[in-house]
Structure 1
């Protein structure tokens, strides 16, 4: 979980610097909400993977797949909620969400793979 928090802090610093010193059209104003959402999802994934690695190792795969499905469903609900609320710059918001989704998924795959190597 420490790596997810540090990664989120790094992304937040980069986004803050870009937002303050070089405002760009590709960064949506709701980027802090997106980062909090992804930090929460990362925490959920981390807890499920830790639960899967403790005790019965055969539970790891179903719990990992459940966390992946939960990430997808919660992400769709999150985007749907903001689109239903009539957020401005919808395309930018969705693109920021998708880019962060890919980045966080890749980061968590790297972190889980690293953790699995230690336990094998």
Structure 2
């Protein structure tokens, strides 16, 4: 069963949209472009979540550890779209006292 990432990330998330395109260069200077597959668009996200270490950061870190960068999970992006993503790591700097911030990079999981 695929789990759901239940936390909302902080304001300021960033999306990176990419199209998978195959380019063929011919000897006469002509280049042909074609899409790769029927789902050739991916939108990856990066964002942060800030909060107390024990109640906010550690549960998120445990969720990411459980999925180990390879198991997909559902996440609803800031635009309201729920899709499958993976997260291959996190950065966790301390902000002040027990106030920490976790930075996550979600990669859209296309299994089709």
TM band (smaller chain): 0.3 to 0.5
The TM-score with structure 2 as length reference comes to 0.34
The structure number with the bigger radius of gyration is 2
